[in-house]
Amino acid sequence: MGISKHPSIVTMPKAEKPYPSILAFLCRRFPAIPLDVWEKRISEGKVLDEKGQQITLGTEYAPLGRIFYFREVLTEPFIPFAEKILYIDDEILVACKPHFLPVTPGGRYVDECLLNRLRVSTGIEDLAPLHRIDRETAGIVLFSVNKKSRGLYGTLFMNGQVDKTYQALSACQPFQETASWDVENRIERGEPWFRMKEAPGRTNARSTINLMEVKGGRARFTLHPRTGKTHQLRIHMSGLGFGILNDRYYPELQAESEDNFDTPLQLVAQMLRFKDPLTGRSREFASERALLW
């Protein structure tokens, strides 16, 4: 069994009284984990509160309070591709993630994630990702090394002050050789829970998508997400009729199967640009990973 050495955190949202039990909340929040598993974890002292105290079945629900737990999986898949550290100093670490590797623990993955691999290779226990990219996506991920400056770098992403560039391939043949689209819509969680969907309401997802060239029945795009919603670029590309090559979620959900390492999603987080909040200098980091072009 794989057991994480580092706790995961979930925040109890605001709720109407009477509050649910913590056990009921955890079962709703993580529907794939059976009730008896949560009961066992709680009874074994593997679920903690913000003060590091063990939660019991009688512990009261606390809106906006945090729960710390240690992920467990019976069997963990091995991802046979290596990450690469592109840059590191006393404040940040920049890594290039391979396809199929999650940034943080999730689902069937505990040790096989970028965060825990980097903790082992660098010896830096306080590493924290400043943003996320999908498990299926490869490319640049920025980490904070120093807790004291973490908020400054995190604010860059929250305020949209990081210029992000992605590259993608689509097997859909465009009618033109070059074109550009500004896509704005609302994205919400859909069904099943891991798949997102377009929805009516206030816009929360914005992307600029540029068709760069067409060759051999494929089209290459440069993408600039202006916001950071889950699966945003995959949904926006699919909505334009240019589903990303090897996407198993969009436009149609494919049957569940093991990863095929020969057909990675053709989406790469190619570049990050931002003004360093400590030095004022412009920073730019680029991925070396290539698409199947």
Burial bucket for residue 224 (CB in 10 Å: 0-12, 13-18, 19+): middle
Domain that holds residue 117: 84-161
**Looking at the structure, do residues 185 and 244 belong to the same domain, yes or no?**
yes
Encode pLDDT of 180-230 as tens digits.
Answer: 999 999 999 999 889 999 999 999 999 999 999 999 889 999 999 999 999
**CATH code (residue 249):** 3.30.2350.10
pLDDT tens per residue, range 117-156:
999 999 999 999 999 999 999 999 999 999 999 999 999 9
What is the CATH classification number for the domain harbouring 34?
3.10.290.10
What's the number of domains the chain is made of?
3
pTM above threshold 0.95: no
Q: Is residue 187 domain-shared with residue 129, that is, in the same domain?
A: no
Say yes or no: 181 and 263 in one domain: yes
For residue 291, tell me if it sits in a domain: no
Do 67 and 100 have their domain in common? no
**Is a pLDDT exceeding 90 seen at residue 6?**
no
Span 69-128, pLDDT tens digits: 988 887 889 999 999 999 999 999 999 999 999 999 888 898 899 999 999 999 999 999
Report phi then psi at 25, rounded to 5. -60, -45
Q: Which amino acid is at 188?
A: E
- Nearest of 71, 74, 155, 147 to residue 113 by alpha carbon: 71
Q: Does 97 fall in a domain? A: yes
Query: Quick check: is 112 in a domain?
Result: yes
Q: Is 188 found in the same domain as 223?
A: yes
Nearest 5°: CA angle at 158, between 184 and 278?
Answer: 135
Does 183 share its domain with 262? yes
Give 255-291 pLDDT, tens digit per residue: 989 999 999 999 999 999 999 999 999 999 999 898 9
